[in-house]
Amino acid sequence: MIELLKYYRKIGKIQKMRGDNLEKWHFNKMKTMVTYTYENVEYYHKLYEDAGFHPSVLKKPEDLEKIPVADKDDYRCVPLEKRVSSAKKARKIIRLSTSGSSGKPLTLLSDTAELAKQRVKWFYAMGKYGYSPFDLIVHIFRSGTSQSEPIWSKFGIFRREIISVLEPPQKIFKKVREFNPDILVANRSFFLMMIDEFLKQGVNIRPKFIINIGEVLYPKDYEKIVSYFGVPILNIYSSVECGNIAYTCPEGNRLHLHHESIFINYFRDTEKVIITNYENYVCPFVNYDLGDIAKISFGDCCCGLSSPYISKISGKDNDFIYLKDGTRIWYQFFNVVVKSFDEVNQFKIVQHRDGSIDVLVKLFECAKPSADREALANGIKQKLAINLKHEQVSVRFVDEIPLGPSGKLQSVESSFRPKRGDEIEA
């Protein structure tokens, strides 16, 4: 607990750094991480050797642009054991998986120490918006509610309820009403879907603030969400690979980077998010192409910070799937179901104009010879039947997943809309 309190104070201290001091901080941390991965992680050692790079060339901050980029697609194809450090003696290894919002889930490892620090980062950001340990947090999340209840929640502090995205939408909405949370955590598309339903029902909930995570929050959607809830929005930019990357301040609504734990390599002439996680020594991510586009800007904020921040970000958008009775199914449901099968490398859900649904699946190369495709297809359809009992669903195995109309990868794409579009029920 003492170490976590120290980390909380460290966040505030590093956040206030500016100019040469912050640059020196990042340079020293990056040199440490690059040297560590060169010596202890097979994937990075090979990446550096193949590029003719050695950590000893890092003499000044500008040299950080010389570090080879870890391509996300290449990284995913490397066996997990080659991405894990041979040196780190973790207290407890935790297996994680990305959300697969692009249809490309990724499995990685962390430990309890890093995950504890990630929770501290949540508390730090929420504290800016008036969070109290007595507040009830409700999180619409990929996992269910099987997590053990923390002992302190019995005393009414640090309470959190998780609602699984696998549940039918109407059950999720009912639970949100019943919990009546002080803080509600979800992403933009869920908030918009929930607001439409609650407006029809005449339901009003008033948390202290809400947290948008996992999706870009566009201005028009920001206005709609604020108009309904009438409370501030804490916008958190995060990834499973690096945890919380940036958070908005309530004063200036700027996305301030968590400089104490991550570094986006702004020495490279690109708006790609090339990121390093300073805290994960089990399965490191160093100069890793996250697959997002963001603009790093410099300047003073009215909240008092002067460190680099994210002024613009482009993520990935996904559709809802519409059932013929009008129900909307959130894309996260499909991400959770399909990526639960280890053989799946990449996937895409395509709903056609007649309402039928194709599940396009690309298998890992190593899975092709032995995978029982018929059994895999039946397993996927069986799990999807939780919410798609009466829909026409087919599973097709493909060599490549097509891009969406925008030219980006989308895990869910729909061309179908119910005839009574103004009577959609969730």
- 143: pLDDT strictly greater than 80: no
Cα separation of 20 and 374, whole Å?
59
pLDDT in tens, 334-350: 888 887 887 888 899 99
- The pLDDT of residue 90: 61
- 232: pLDDT strictly greater than 90: yes
- The pLDDT of residue 422: 35
- The pLDDT of residue 279: 95
- 366: pLDDT strictly greater than 80: no
Q: CB pairs under 8 A, 24+ apart, for 359-365?
A: 359/384, 359/393, 359/394, 359/395, 359/396, 360/396, 360/398, 360/401, 360/402, 361/395, 361/396, 361/397, 361/398, 362/397, 362/398, 362/399, 362/400, 362/401, 363/397, 364/77, 365/77
Share of the chain above pLDDT 90, in %: 59
Q: CB pairs under 8 A, 24+ apart, for 16-19?
A: 16/304, 16/305, 16/307, 17/259, 17/307, 18/306, 18/307, 19/306
Q: How many other CB atoms sit within 10 Å of the CB of residue 389?
A: 9
- 269: pLDDT strictly greater than 80: no
CATH 1.25.40.10 fits 321-423, yes or no: no
- Name which of 63-72, 170-179, 264-273 the model is least confident about: 264-273
Nearest by Cα to 62 from 299, 296, 258, 268? 268
| Same-fold call for 2-116+238-314 versus 130-231 | yes
Q: Which helix (H) or strand (E) holds 384?
A: helix 373-384
- The pLDDT of residue 208: 97
- The pLDDT of residue 98: 72
250: Cβ–Cβ under 8 A, 6 or more apart, which residues?
128, 129, 232, 234, 303
- Name which of 12-16, 162-166, 405-409 the model is least confident about: 405-409
Domain locations in the chain? 2-116+238-314, 130-231, 321-423
CATH 3.20.20.70 fits 2-116+238-314, yes or no: no
Nearest by Cα to 285 from 240, 316, 247? 240
- The pLDDT of residue 292: 87
Query: What class, spelled out in words, does domain 130-231 have in CATH?
Result: alpha beta
Local confidence band at 393 (pLDDT 50, 70, 90 cut-offs): very high
Torsion region of 287: left, alpha or beta (phi above 0 gives left; psi -120 to 50 gives alpha): left
